[in-house]
A and B are shown apart, each in its own frame.
Chain A
Amino acid sequence: MVEQKRVRVLDTVDLAKSTPDKPQDFEALGLRVEEYEQIKVILGRRPSDSELAMYSVMWSEHCSYKSSKFHLRKFGEKMTPKMEENLLVGMGENAGVVDIGDGWAVTFKVESHNHPSFVEPFQGAATGVGGIVRDIMAMGAKPIAVMDQLRFGNLNHPDSKRVIPQVVAGIAHYGNCLGLPNIGGEVEFDPSFQGNPLVNALCLGALRHEDLHLSGAKGDGNAVILFGARTGGDGIGGASILASDTFEEGGPAKRPSVQVGDPFMEKVLIECCLEMFSEEVIDGLQDLGAAGISCATSEMAAMGDGGMHINLDRVLLRDPSLTPEEILMSESQERMMASVRQDRLAEFITIANRWDVEYAIIGEVNNSGRLTIDHKGLRLVDIDPATAAVDSPVYKRPYSRPIWQDYLNSHTVQIDDLDKAKSPAALEQHVLKVLSHPNVASKEWITSQYDHFVQGNTALAMPDDAGVVRIDSKTGLGVALSTDANSRFAKLDPREGAKISLAESFINVSCTGAKPLAVTDCLNFGNPEHRDTMWQLVEAIEGLADACLELELPVTGGNVSLYNVTGTPKNQDESGINGSINPTPVVGVLGKINDVSRATPSGFVAEGHSIYLLGHTLPELDGSIWAAAIHDHLGGVPPVVFWPQIRALSYALIDMSRVGFVSTAHDVSQGGLITTLFESCFRRGIGCKVDLTPLKMRDKIDDTDALFSESLGRAVVAIDPKNEKFMTLICKQYSVPFLKIGVTSGVGDDASLEVDGLFDIELDRAKSRWGSVIPDAMN
């Protein structure tokens, strides 16, 4: 047999000049006619195939934010000098960097890996963790913790048994192998996520101020080094095609393989980079994520001196048959690109060798203003890097308030006349149903698969309100982190829903005693080409920008994930909203705490403590878990965000924690007051006796409102009676409404949660209901 030799003429820049009319299949790469024409204008000729590949990935929604960029500017416009006070690096870099004092800074960011996680849940979720960790490393920081924000369809849907265990195992596999504690996150179930689960991952990093690295390649003559794993054929076109197209039934199979992660390689890469940071061998650093070398080279060049020359044949390959275009687009994991001064090269090589990390010097930085890429002596790419990385198209997509929004908002709990429990026995049943709703039920089946002990700096982790980790072991200085989103509220009102996400994270962080400093977000929405979805996105961005201004917190960076839809456009109704996920603005808040070992926990710690409810309770049941669990109802308007109350509560909680008067603090959110009380009881099996009468009289509400309303700006604190007067003083100082609603009492088998005159539920019974929901569905 004579092996047939594949003959392929490389499409070079010269060839592009001489054959201006060669047809190119730009549409298969996801580019539109106008975009293709724009590339021709920029270059003054048709692009070579390699250039076309680069532009197609760099101008994809995933990399260019072309639908959201115009609106994201609002975060910058609504920034005050005070908000920027603690910001060392703002939006636009790989991740924002926040000053926390004593020469320490932290960087954090949340990112999506939604589509790959549906196609291949294990690897999709695993590589999501890997990607965000490299982003944090690219800032010169040491990754110190991760968190995950997961959204799945109906817990009992047959496909959930495929997706959920694999996503969780993927995160566990990758995160645990990296030795990064997983300190919290969230899990939400809603049918809208059935065909499009959301897998967001957050990473937190710490660094000394002087170690801050920016990605720009500055320094004429610096070597450009690609190091870490070799480049293979995985995830080619993944960024542009997989991450920006809907999962069509019967459509063309445009699903290139999801990247495969190797956490061991990443762990070694982290250690190697950390040593390079401390030896100061790296000038600029960039991780290779979506769009691989295309993205890394054009971004590094555009953010630096503007020029770079690359020899593509020097890239170390796992698969020697890869074409130059494929090498440019490959999304192989565990790779980094560094710009290194020539006099530091030897040191770089020594450290890489020590960690057995492969590297290749693939080019150098120059000040030509052009990104040029050669392959075997032929010029394949000659572009202005900014045109790919910075000046990508910006779309002002049309949007309008959907007509169905008013219909949805008009169907409130009152209008639809949802039955409230009329007897104590019925009320007890409602309590147990709310407690066993998947969104309230124990997430231990998931979180127990994550290592939260490693590194020995974790002071609080799930199920506490926020994860708290120490950064400086000499002083105890550290940070608290919480993320939140309630997609049901966001569906009812995307603007208010985004504000609620922030308000809840803000209070979660405050509960631990940490002072909130900065915000990151991950905006998960449907198809921006539909007016309704685009409206949701714009509303959420504006709402979040306004909310940040109210709380004086800067958004330091984040991610937008669009096209989270299932079904073909044909199957969708006119508005295009069927098949779309609930709008999900995930908001993370980072706070600073001077002594993490004093962070306030959320579970009751002893008997005989007084239980106080801080904040007002309004009859706000629209969109609540009660409405979902009892009536399968979603309608009306979400709870009102009253900023003065949110701010005041935060100040009070932080003060109480500082002086050490409060024993435990737990926010009231999904599932209402009764859920908060049960969660506090479950931690150590300590029961409580509660009397709701004063609450009902003061706030003029009924039993169901008192137990299940999801009014914002509330927290339950438990306190040693001898400290009560100090606590009430603090509350008065900040005008935070407070009310004693009960005492902790009973431990062990006798422990129960008793609500005076209504019911008395043994903790064991409630806990087995609450704890078995997810395991039963998964086993």
Chain B
Amino acid sequence: MSEVYSLLEDEEKTLNELRQQNRLDRIKSGESDVVMTRTREYQFIHAASIRVGVVVFPGTLDDVDAARAVRLAGARPIPLWHNDASLSNSDAIILAGGFSYGDYLRTGAIARFAPIMEKIIDAAKGGMPILGICNGFQILTEAHLLPGALARNDHQKFICKEQMLEVNNENTCWTNDFEFNEKIKIPLKNGEGRYIADKRTLQELNEKNQIVFRYYGDNPNGSVGNIAGVCNEKGNVLGLMPHPEHAVEPGFGVDDGSVSGFRNGTDGIRFIRSMIADMLTQAGVK
């Protein structure tokens, strides 16, 4: 928590540095999809006004990473405490990974009753973009914002690896930066990540295009239909097991196979960029 706060204090300075750095990096790298066009630059500056609430329950672990992802994408992370009575004017919410309340009873089962969840449930129903990662996904299913449930991995062990995903729905507010069928790589780490749902629910998910990501290559935990992430009918609430927030910064992401050998894979940042782009489009910024 304290790190998030101290980062916020430095935010003005950091943000300017980041802007400069980001611009330079993009121009230097010369990769077509990240070259700063006029439009993008314009968006980037406006993005700073987007407030993304990052919820911390006791036992949440990846809140610092999620806040960093938001910041690197150009938006403003707002730390939210499980006991908070308001969302502090957040425009979007991230429920980060971890072991909220020690996973006691059942993953996400206690967090679902935290005071802040009432507000989040209302906001979700009102169309606010909500991203639940890992434990956040578990909380969203417990809160019935998303269908299905997450059970113990079929091999009964915790697993941590770099995971390939296939994008199955590129039309949600969290995935519009991806192409349909695109293969992306982000970290996966969970003990209870096996997605399960009854037949009817699965059929509905398929029909309504709510399966957003499937595991590609291998199925790491026995999830039904290789499902890695699902959204609600509206598409504003996305839950996924793998961790985009751990692949947002060159050098600290996943192995992208580049000749540098560094961990430069940053597909995760595109989740946040999608949401920002969606929000700016809605706000009329082109």
Chain A residues at the B interface, C-beta cutoff of 8 Å:
169, 172-173, 176-179, 262-265, 267-268, 271, 274-275, 278, 355-356, 448-459, 470, 476, 596-601, 603, 605-606, 663-664, 684
Contacts and interface: CB of A to CB of B under 8 A. Distances in A.
Given A264-B104, A451-B189, A456 B68 contact: yes
B262 A172 contact: no
Interface stretch (B27-35, B139-147, B153-161, B271-279): B153-161
B1 A169 contact: no
Nearest to A607: B259
Interface string B158-173: 1111000000000000
Contact of A457 (B1, B99, B252, B257): B252
Contacts of B257: 684
Contacts of B246: 453-454, 456
| Residue in B102, B250, B255 whose Cβ sees the most chain A Cβ within 10 Å | B102
Interface in B229-248: 243, 245-246, 248
A597 B250 CA distance: 8
Given A263-B102, A456-B64, A459-B263, A177 B59 contact: yes
A213 B128 CA distance: 45
Contacts of B104: 264
Nearest to B220: A448
10 contacts: A169-B158, A262-B102, A263-B99, A264-B58, A268-B59, A356-B58, A448-B161, A449-B158, A449-B159, A459-B262
Contact of A606 (B98, B157, B158, B259): B259
Nearest to A179: B61
B229 to A, nearest CB: 17
B158 to A, nearest CB: 5
B250 to A, nearest CB: 7
Interface of B: 1-2, 6, 58-59, 61-62, 64-65, 68, 98-99, 101-104, 157-161, 187, 189, 191, 243, 245-246, 248-252, 255, 257-263
A178 B62 CA distance: 11
Nearest to A664: B261
Contact of B102 (A264, A457, A603, A664): A264
Given A169-B157, A449-B158, 16 more contacts: A176-B158, A263-B102, A271-B58, A448-B160, A449-B157, A449-B160, A450-B160, A451-B158, A453-B243, A598-B262, A599-B262, A603-B261, A606-B259, A663-B261, A684-B255, A684-B257
A449 B263 CA distance: 20
Contact of A268 (B58, B249, B255): B58
Nearest to A445: B157
A179 B2 CA distance: 15
B255 A470 contact: no
Given A177-B59, A262-B102, A456-B68, A274 B2 contact: yes
Contacts of A449: 157-160
Contacts of B2: 274-275, 278
Contacts of B1: 271, 275
A470 B252 contact: yes
Given A275-B2, A454-B246, A457-B252, A605 B260 contact: yes
A456 B158 contact: no
Given A179-B98, A267-B59, A597-B250, A454 B65 contact: yes
Nearest to B243: A453
Contacts of B252: 456-459, 470, 597
Please give me the 10 A-B residue pairs with the lowest Cβ-Cβ distance, nearest first: A264-B102, A597-B251, A179-B61, A605-B261, A453-B246, A601-B261, A456-B65, A453-B187, A606-B259, A449-B158
A142 to B, nearest CB: 8
A456 B158 CA distance: 19
Nearest to B157: A449
A590 to B, nearest CB: 20
B251 A459 contact: yes
A686 B150 CA distance: 37
Given A455-B64, A456-B246, A605-B261, A596 B59 contact: no
A178 B99 CA distance: 9
Contacts of A600: 261
Contacts of A476: 251
Given A179-B62, A455-B65, A264 B101 contact: yes
A34 B260 CA distance: 64
Contacts of B245: 456
A450 B6 CA distance: 29
Contact of A451 (B6, B157, B160): B160
A680 B171 CA distance: 40
A135 B47 CA distance: 42
Nearest to A268: B58
B65 A177 contact: no
Contacts of A267: 58-59, 61, 99, 102
A563 B177 CA distance: 60
B260 A452 contact: no
A719 to B, nearest CB: 12
Contacts of B187: 453
Nearest to B5: A278
Contacts of A664: 261
A178 B159 CA distance: 16
Nearest to A663: B261
Contact of B99 (A264, A275, A663): A264
Contacts of A597: 250-252, 262
Contacts of B61: 177-179, 267, 454
Contacts of B191: 176
B159 A448 contact: yes
A278 B64 CA distance: 17
A747 to B, nearest CB: 10
A715 to B, nearest CB: 16
Nearest to A275: B2
B59 A264 contact: yes
A606 B252 CA distance: 20
Given A267-B59, A603-B261, A456 B248 contact: yes
Nearest to A271: B1
Contacts of A470: 252
A453 B189 contact: yes
A177 B59 CA distance: 7
A456 B246 CA distance: 6
A476 B262 CA distance: 14
Nearest to A262: B102
| Residue in A264, A448, A453, A457 whose Cβ sees the most chain B Cβ within 10 Å | A453
A448 to B, nearest CB: 6
Contact of B62 (A355, A448, A454): A454
A456 B243 CA distance: 11
B189 A172 contact: no
A601 B102 CA distance: 35
B102 A605 contact: no
A463 to B, nearest CB: 12
Contacts of A264: 58-59, 99, 101-104
A596 B158 contact: no
A688 B258 CA distance: 18
| Residue in A451, A603, A663, A664 whose Cβ sees the most chain B Cβ within 10 Å | A451
Contacts of B261: 600-601, 603, 605, 663-664
Contacts of B255: 684
Contacts of A606: 259
A45 B210 CA distance: 78
Nearest to B260: A605
A177 B68 contact: no
Contact of A605 (B6, B98, B99, B259): B259
Nearest to B104: A264
A268 B252 CA distance: 26
Nearest to B263: A459
B251 A453 contact: no
A173 B191 CA distance: 9
A267 B98 CA distance: 11
A448 B161 CA distance: 6
Contacts of A599: 262
A453 B160 contact: yes
A264 B255 CA distance: 31
